[in-house]
């Protein structure tokens, strides 16, 4: 079963991909499918013996290239699970972390993301390109080798749609981009800023959902990675590295997190003035030993509870940011 | 810090309660705060030496009685974390489970829920009464003694608001309650039905978010527990018991889940024709040994991925439902 179904009560679409139920699950290191292929051993997903960054289609995809047209089954609406599901392997080193790979690799990764954004934008079954990373077993990672993913959704997903609606309203009322306004306010207030660079600001959001949530956005109104200048891409690689190193230093272990990149939809429409590129990091720890769980309030009511003041989280994260200039 | 803050980018309100960071965490059995108080030992949260069902205010509340009026801090909107946070202890037996307590206790619990719904509806700081249970350490439970919770939110929470919007549109287009229509369709289709009774239907939703998600709703258009007849309350206690026993039998261990009850908002407004009482159970397992994680797609994009076909889940759950008549 590979299908999208619309919930009749919330009108949200959900993706069903039962082939994923048997996907590779935490294989031993010598059977890692994301390591390079070596002579004399069974080939991995990646045919080369060495590589920098590799991108390929997920072998257990949630979405596959195809026709997106929905149809009805009596009362219910459904559609093929069309779209893209790609894997982005950050390194050929099995035990590497993104933070430790260095700025050049991060800069290359920014270029790869931008290129995949442009490539997937061309596909008729893709309306929204969603770059993300799940890091750590605690967020459900099934392969340890450092990697991220890219989904090409056949719709603008609910979280992005809600942001765009608010941004459209804000533009109508104030004539400005709400994310530009937020970045300017956070920069001048300073109390939630974690680290800043020439072009980017990393801050704990005013109404963070997760205790150590962090958003990273350019001051300039840039709609996607594709529209960053060369200098901005260098700057992004550098501040991304500092954020990732701060997360690893915060509690002294690689912090499990979800990283989500929000960009301009690639669907037809007038999105330019209301789309503002930003990264959302949502680590799931509320302290060194305790996790934040999504439970009754979040899952049942959609209302987030947070036990850590964003200003305190920002203060702790600031002290974990490494001094500039390393590597 | 006890505060509600509105996220400027999504316009969703989030609750901050930093006092909860140090809440009691998995205490040893002989220090359980939800057990009865016994002579010669320090008193627990419950002053009696025996009880059936006990309700009291959460000692580490997310919301506390007060004024809900929001104010602005320059660009940002915030408000006191006003509302109610109650604990509902299901039994004075520390190791009991709701499924094993028997129908009479479940019937009493239904009455207690209905009574609290009515009582909290009177409070000016409560706009929506949300009854829920987090069961199991895997969903973040911090006390093992069987209990649920009731939040009195000072707003209609996002998930309920979205449902009500869809129901309002459906009513306008079709002249019917969408949840009445869903229950009638599911009943006649049968393929996703888990168990049915005279007044209630338990089914895996057509577009379930979680593999073994189950919704339980009356056929009749009832807006809240308060409006159930005596016979319907008996019937609800009975089918609730069968659902809970099916969950415990499915994989042979008490299945961790979130249970959420959706009812008519108690805020001013015309909600009657678009509110349909229902229970949503969202267990977090996708198989005996594997969990479903909320990760990139769900947290970052709001788009749910499910690896189990709802029809298969319903078939498995049906076989786990105990024969009628026990206890």
Residue B312 distance to chain A (closest CA, Å): 10
Could you write out the three-class secondary structure of chain B?
CEEEEECCCCCCEEEEEHHHHHCCCCCCHHHCCCCECCCCCCCCCECCCCCCCEEEECCCCCCECCCCCCEEECCEEEEECECEEEEEECCCCCCCCHHHCCHHHHHHHHHHHHHHHHHHHCCCCCCEEEEEEEECHHHCCCCCCCEEEEEEECCCCHHHHHHHHHHHHHHHHHCCCHHHHHHHHHHHHCCCEEEECCCEEEECCCCCCCCCCEEEEECCCCCCHHHCCHHHHHHHHHHHHHHHHHHHHHCCCCCCEEEEEECCCCCCCCCHHHCCCEEEEEECECCCCCECCCCHHHHHHCCCEECCCHHHHHHHHHHHCCCCCCC
Question: What is the mean pLDDT of the segment spanning A227-235?
Answer: 98
Q: So what's the pLDDT on residue B61?
A: 93
Average pLDDT over residues A64-75: 91
**What are the DSSP calls for A196-239, one per residue?**
E-SSEEEE--TT-SSTT-EEEEESS---SGGG--HHHHHHHHHH
Cross-chain residue pair B62–A205, CB shorter than 8 Å: no
Beta strands A54-57 and A84-89: pairing type?
A: antiparallel
Q: Which of A145, A147, A276, A285 is catalytic?
A: A147
Instruction: Compute φ and ψ for B148, nearest 5 degrees.
Output: -125, -170
Tens of pLDDT along B277-288?
A: 999 999 999 999
Q: Average the pLDDT over each of A171-180, B23-32, B108-117, B308-317 and give the range with the smallest value.
A: B23-32
pLDDT over 70 at A28, yes or no:
yes
Give the CA angle between residues A25, A139, A167 to the nearest 5°: 130
Q: How far apart are CA B201 and CA B196, in angstroms?
A: 5
How much is the pTM? 0.96
Which residue in A319, A293, A9, A251 sits closest to B256, CA to CA?
A293
**Has A145 been annotated as catalytic?**
no
Residue A326: the pLDDT is 52
Mark yes or no for CB contact B300/A293 under 8 Å: no
- Domains and their CATH numbers in chain A: 2-320 (3.30.428.10)
Q: Do the Cβ atoms of B307 and A17 come within 8 Å? A: yes
Nearest to B207 among A5, A62, A301 (CB): A5
Task: Give A126-139 pLDDT, tens digit per residue.
Answer: 999 999 999 998 88
Whether the predicted pLDDT of B107 surpasses 80: yes
| Share above pLDDT 70 across residues of chain B, in percent, rounded to a whole number | 99
Question: Nearest CB to A302: which of B16, B157, B308?
Answer: B157
pLDDT at residue B325 is higher than 60: no
Give the residue-averaged pLDDT of B120-137: 96
The H-or-E segment that residue A177 falls in is none
Find which of A78, A173, A207, A291 to mutate to test the B interface (most B CBs within 10 Å of its CB).
A207
Catalytic amino acids of B? 147
CA–CA gap between residue A206 and residue A209 (Å, rounded):
10
Query: Shortest CB distance from B17 goes to which of A21, A167, A305?
Result: A305
Q: For B136-177, what is each residue's pLDDT tens digit? A: 988 888 899 999 999 999 999 999 999 999 999 999 999 999
- Contact criterion met (CB below 8 Å) for A314 and A202: no
A152 → chain B, closest CA residue: B297
Which chain A residues have a beta carbon less than 8 Å from that of B284? none
Q: pLDDT exceeding 90 applies to what percent of chain B?
A: 87
Distance CA B57, CA B66 (A): 14
CA distance B39 to chain A (A): 34
Q: Tell me the average pLDDT of chain B.
A: 95
What pLDDT is recorded for position B274? 98
Query: Mean per-residue pLDDT for A184-205?
Result: 97
Q: What is the mean pLDDT of residues A183-187?
A: 97
CA terminus-to-terminus distance, chain A: 47
User: Which comes out higher in pLDDT, residue B100 or A235?
Assistant: A235
Strands A54-57 vs A128-135: parallel, antiparallel or unpaired:
unpaired
Report chain B residues whose CB lies below 8 A from the CB of A17: 305-307
Does residue B326 have a pLDDT over 60?
no
- Distance from C-alpha of A114 to C-alpha of A158, rounded to nearest angstrom: 23
| Strand pairing report for B76-80 and B71-73 | antiparallel
Residue A105: pLDDT over 90: yes
The SS3 assignment for A186 reads helix
Between residues B282 and B41, the one the model is more confident about: B282
**CB contact (8 A) between residue B9 and residue A291:** no
- Closest Cβ–Cβ partner in B10, B134, B306 for A166: B10
Confidence of residue B98 (pLDDT cuts 50, 70, 90): confident
- Residue-wise pLDDT for B307-319, tens only, equals 999 999 999 999 9
Tokens of B213: 């998600």
Q: What confidence score (pLDDT) does residue B21 get?
A: 79
Q: Do A260 and B153 touch (CB under 8 A)?
A: no
Running DSSP on this structure, what letter comes out for residue A126? -
Of B16, B166, B294, the CB nearest to A9: B166
Query: How confident is residue B19, by pLDDT bands cut at 50, 70 and 90?
Result: confident
Look at residue A325 and tell me whether its pLDDT is greater than 60.
no
Q: State the pLDDT at residue B24.
A: 84
Bridge pairing between strands A305-306 and B13-17: parallel
The yes-or-no verdict on residue B327 having pLDDT over 70 is no
Question: Which range (B49-58, B112-121, B199-208, B316-325) has the least confidence?
Answer: B316-325
Q: Does residue A327 have a pLDDT over 80?
A: no
A-chain CB neighbours of B299 within 8 Å are 258, 260, 282
Residue carrying structure tokens 């026990």: B326
Residues of chain A positioned with their CB less than 8 A from the CB of B1? 309
Question: What is the pLDDT at residue A22?
Answer: 82
Whether residue B160 and residue A7 make contact (CB cut-off 8 A), yes or no, is: no
* Distance of residue A135 Cα from the nearest chain B Cα, in angstroms: 9
Supply the pLDDT for residue B32: 94
């Amino acid at each position: 079963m590979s299908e999208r179904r619309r919930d009749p009560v919330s009108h949200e679409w959900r993706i069903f991909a039962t082939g994923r139920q048997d996907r590779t699950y935490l294989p031993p290191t010598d059977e890692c499918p994301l390591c390079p292929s070596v002579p004399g051993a069974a080939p991995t997903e990646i045919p080369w013996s060495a590589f920098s960054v590799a991108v390929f289609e997920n072998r257990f995809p949630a979405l596959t290239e195809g026709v997106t047209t929905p149809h009805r089954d009596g009362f219910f609406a459904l559609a093929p699970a069309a779209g893209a599901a790609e894997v982005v392997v950050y390194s050929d080193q099995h035990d590497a972390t993104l933070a430790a790979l260095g700025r050049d690799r991060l800069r290359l990764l920014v270029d790869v993301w931008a290129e995949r954004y442009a490539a997937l934008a061309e596909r008729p079954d893709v309306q929204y390109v969603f770059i993300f990373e799940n890091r750590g077993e605690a967020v459900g990672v099934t392969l340890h080798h450092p990697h991220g993913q890219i989904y090409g959704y056949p719709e603008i997903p609910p979280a992005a749609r809600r942001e765009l609606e608010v941004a459209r309203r804000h533009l109508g009322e104030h004539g400005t981009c709400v994310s530009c306004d937020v970045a300017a306010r956070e920069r001048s207030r300073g109390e939630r800023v974690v680290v800043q660079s020439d072009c980017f600001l990393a801050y704990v959001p005013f109404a963070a959902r997760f205790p150590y949530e962090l958003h990273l956005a350019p001051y300039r109104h840039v709609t996607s990675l594709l529209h960053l200048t060369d200098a901005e891409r260098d700057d992004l690689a550098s501040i991304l590295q500092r954020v990732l190193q701060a997360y690893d230093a915060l509690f002294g272990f690689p912090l499990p997190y979800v990283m989500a990149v929000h960009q301009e939809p690639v669907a037809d429409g007038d999105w330019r003035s209301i789309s503002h590129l930003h990264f959302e990091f949502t680590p799931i720890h509320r302290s060194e030993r305790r996790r934040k769980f999504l439970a009754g309030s979040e899952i049942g009511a959609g209302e987030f509870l947070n036990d850590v003041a964003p200003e305190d989280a920002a203060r702790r994260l600031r002290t974990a940011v490494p001094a500039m200039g390393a590597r």
